[in-house]
């Protein structure tokens, strides 16, 4: 693969968020907007500067009061189906996996949109949550070792035992298929991010309409990937499930992403300590601040 060491141009990063004021569809729209803004001031600003593509996928238009997004950012939104037809997420007294979480459908649509509108020079697709910090300067060297013509699925792999919860969005609640299927599923955790090469993303997009929609965006994608041919799943624990302080000290500076950041202030603190520039030189080999 030939791309300049200073260029991230073969990489597209999709940030999944929500901006709807409907509390049944989005748990706290202002918080999510603030997180996306913090990402665009920190790691995403560096990613754009060095040629990466940023796509923000939501369930509602970007709020006017939040101010304009950078012109280079692709903002797309997909309406959530009517509450009468889906068991929507964030309902009181219901487990998060027991109701429909719109992220599953949004990630599917974002991937299809990115494949349709982005140039063929984009060879890697990264999905990440809005409360995650992506260290693209750590991820890019890893991607340079991967043949982008292969069908690679890269992320921090988890194993799920239990039942998958299907959702039929085109049916009334009493017509829903509520039969949960027992499974043992290996999947790349979605919050901190995972990567699909373009050939695998294209194969997935061609099959996604045939796949049952499940709760849990990362599990939903992993189930659909089972139908793809020639898939190479690569476990890379560097997509860390929590903030830096939850990672082993000697491994923190090797991580490619951190997750579950509480807000804009924490996003900016992580940027100062672990970003491409700023105070990176003050982090020793063990990941601790000097």
Which tokens sit at 289?
């601040």
- Poorest-confidence range of 147-151, 196-200, 258-262, 279-283? 279-283
Residues 156 and 236: beta-carbon distance below 8 Å: yes
Q: How far is CA 263 from the centre of its chain?
A: 17
C-alpha 215/C-alpha 242 separation (Å) is 21
Tens of pLDDT, residue by residue over 198-215, are: 999 999 999 888 888 887
Place of tokens 């990440």: 128
Spatial CA neighbour of 75 closest among 120, 37, 122, 30? 37
Which tokens sit at 122?
């984009």
State the pLDDT at residue 173. Answer: 45
| 183 pLDDT above the threshold of 60 | yes
**pLDDT band at residue 161, thresholds of 50, 70 and 90?**
confident
The sign one gets for the Cα dihedral 191, 197, 199, 200 is: negative
Q: Residue 151 has what DSSP assignment?
A: -
Burial of 71 (0-12, 13-18, 19+ CB in 10 A): exposed
Alpha helices by DSSP H, 119-209: 136-143, 198-207
C-alpha 191/C-alpha 215 separation (Å) is 14
Spatial CA neighbour of 273 closest among 264, 262, 281, 263? 281
Residues 259 and 191: beta-carbon distance below 8 Å: yes
Residues 125 and 12: beta-carbon distance below 8 Å: yes
The sign one gets for the Cα dihedral 94, 96, 99, 101 is: positive
Mean pLDDT of 185-194: 93
- Residue with the bigger pLDDT between 88 and 230: it is 230
- What lies within 8 Å, CB to CB, of 5 at 6+ separation is none
- Residue with the bigger pLDDT between 27 and 156: it is 156
Measured CA to CA in angstroms, residue 169 lies from 54, 78, 102 at distances of: 28, 14, 10
- Poorest-confidence range of 2-11, 146-155, 177-186, 278-287? 278-287
Measured CA to CA in angstroms, residue 10 lies from 42, 118, 168, 282 at distances of: 20, 10, 35, 29
CATH for 11-282 is 3.90.550.50
Tens of pLDDT, residue by residue over 226-279, are: 889 999 999 999 999 999 999 999 899 999 999 999 999 999 999 999 998 865
Half-sphere exposure of 95 (CA within 13 A, CB side): 5
Strand arrangement, sheet containing 232-235 = 74-77, 53-58, 11-16, 124-129, 194-197, 152-155, 232-235
Spatial CA neighbour of 110 closest among 78, 132, 80, 79? 78
State the pLDDT at residue 213. Answer: 80
| 123 pLDDT above the threshold of 90 | yes
Which tokens sit at 143?
């991607």
Spatial CA neighbour of 221 closest among 170, 171, 158? 158
| 103 pLDDT above the threshold of 80 | no
**pLDDT band at residue 163, thresholds of 50, 70 and 90?**
confident
- Poorest-confidence range of 34-48, 70-84, 130-144, 216-230? 70-84
Instruction: Give me the DSSP letters along 174-195.
Output: GG----PEEEEEEEE-SSS-EE
């Amino acid at each position: 693969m030939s791309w300049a060491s200073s260029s991230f141009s073969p990489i597209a990063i999709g940030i999944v968020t929500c901006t709807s004021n409907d509390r049944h569809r989005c748990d706290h729209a202002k918080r999510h907007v603030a997180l996306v803004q913090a990402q665009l001031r920190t790691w995403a600003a560096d990613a754009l500067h060095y040629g990466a593509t940023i796509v923000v996928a939501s369930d509602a238009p970007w709020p006017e009061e939040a101010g304009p997004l950078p012109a280079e950012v692709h903002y797309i939104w997909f309406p959530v189906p009517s509450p009468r037809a889906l068991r929507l997420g964030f309902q009181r007294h219901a487990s998060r996996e027991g109701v429909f979480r719109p992220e599953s459908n949004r990630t599917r649509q974002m991937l299809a949109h990115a494949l349709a509108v982005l140039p063929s020079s984009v060879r890697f697709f990264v999905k990440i949550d809005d409360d995650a910090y992506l260290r693209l300067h750590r991820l890019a060297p890893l991607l340079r070792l991967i043949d982008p013509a292969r069908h690679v699925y890269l992320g921090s792999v988890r194993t799920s035992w239990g039942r998958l919860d299907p959702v039929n969005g085109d049916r009334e609640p009493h017509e829903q298929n509520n039969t949960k299927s027992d499974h043992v599923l290996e999947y790349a955790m979605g919050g901190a991010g995972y990567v699909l090469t373009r050939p695998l993303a294209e194969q997935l997009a061609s099959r996604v309409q045939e796949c049952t929609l499940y709760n849990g965006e990362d599990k939903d994608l992993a189930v659909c990937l089972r139908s793809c041919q020639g898939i190479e799943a690569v476990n890379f624990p560097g997509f860390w499930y929590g903030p830096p302080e939850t990672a082993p000290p000697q491994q923190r500076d090797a991580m490619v992403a951190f997750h579950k950041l509480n807000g804009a202030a924490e996003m900016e603190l992580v940027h100062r300590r672990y970003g491409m520039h700023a105070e990176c030189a003050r982090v020793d080999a063990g990941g601790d601040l000097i």
